[in-house]
Amino acid sequence: MKHSRISLVIAALAILVHAPASAQQVRIGDLTVNDGDVPVRLMGYGLVVGLDGTGDRAQGVYGSRHTVQSIVNLLRNFDIEVPAELLRTRNVAAVLVTAEASPYLRTGGRVDVQVSSIGDARSLRGGVLWATPLVSEPGGPALAIAQGAAVVSENLASTADPVETSVRIPAGALISRPLPRAGGTGSRILLKEPNLTMATRIGAAIEAEFGAGVAQVEDPGAIALNLPDGQPPAVALARIADLRVAVDNAAKIIIDGRSGTVAAGGDIVVRSAVVSHGGVTVSVGETANGDAASGGVRLRAGTTVQEVASSLQAIGAPPEMISAVFEALRSVGAMTADIVVR
């Protein structure tokens, strides 16, 4: 057992020493969370008022009857009785409100909230969220109250209209009760993105700082800690969070499904391949000179992701075509990378 422990430490130190030159040093605190730091998800149902005729409609077969009933209930709380058939709701929209808060946030703290229409409102621009209780589970006690003016996130793409049925309210929720905490012991740290190599590097860095036997890699996503005696756990965890380890650039391509923006990380090259999609042919090969021919793109082998994306955008390829081309290039083995379409 002792020899296997020594072998693990030696292997971990080898990983640290032979980390790629392109790797950067990152704080462990930016890569992990403590097992008790699970954020609290808050949710609620409310009304956005003050709209300029862009709210839910109340008339017709498909009218938002839940919005009408919500307004009736709201007014009843103020001893005002209004028949439902007399209400017009074009200046009001029924919404779902969500937020995420740290379990260590105390009463009086504030968090951002996201507000999304659940009826047929056209826009929430200019509206104000009425005081909305937020709970962590259906039927639970209200842990926060959300209210405030809606802020529309403008779409930077000039070819697309901004989505105005989903808005946010900065610092819009006020914590009114202590938040529940997960049952973590504080003796484990969890990787935000599980990876065995990274977990081993983190364990080695911790043991280099505190001594052998302090960190034990349980699996790619968790490291058990045996913190030394005589030091408060919070102080030891703070020291661990400030330690740095080498992080490789991830081979990942992220594509915006609306604007066609392409972001790539890691040393990704595109090898020889031919992809035909929607009347456009992308040819990557040794003899290609990087020109954009009529109805197609020709690039040299070993080209970069950025060059492929720029060439497709230059011929006016829509976002869905750009996504399909990169997916096809990965499928045929022309490149090795994770592709995420958002």
pLDDT in tens, 153-185: 765 444 455 678 999 999 999 999 999 877 666
Residue 250 identity: A
CB 308, CB 282: distance < 8 Å: yes
Give the pLDDT score at 268.
Answer: 83
Other beta carbons less than 10 A from residue 248's beta carbon: 17
What is d(CA 183, CA 34) in angstroms, rounded to the nearest whole number? 11
**CB neighbour burial string for 133-148, b if at least 16 within 10 angstroms, e if fewer:** bbbbeeeeeebbebbb
For the chain (342 residues), the mean pLDDT of every run of 10, in chain order, is 43 46 78 86 94 80 71 83 77 94 92 93 93 92 95 58 84 93 76 91 92 91 86 86 86 82 81 86 69 68 86 87 88 85 84
Q: What predicted TM-score, i.e. pTM, was given to this entire model?
A: 0.65
Strand order in the sheet with 280-285: 273-277, 280-285, 296-300
Give the pLDDT score at 18.
Answer: 46
Other beta carbons less than 10 A from residue 193's beta carbon: 10
pLDDT in tens, 222-265: 999 988 777 788 888 889 999 999 887 777 888 888 788 888 87
CB 338, CB 306: distance < 8 Å: no
CB 113, CB 52: distance < 8 Å: no
**Structural domain spans, the chain:** 2-32+183-247, 40-175, 252-341
Give the pLDDT score at 76.
Answer: 84
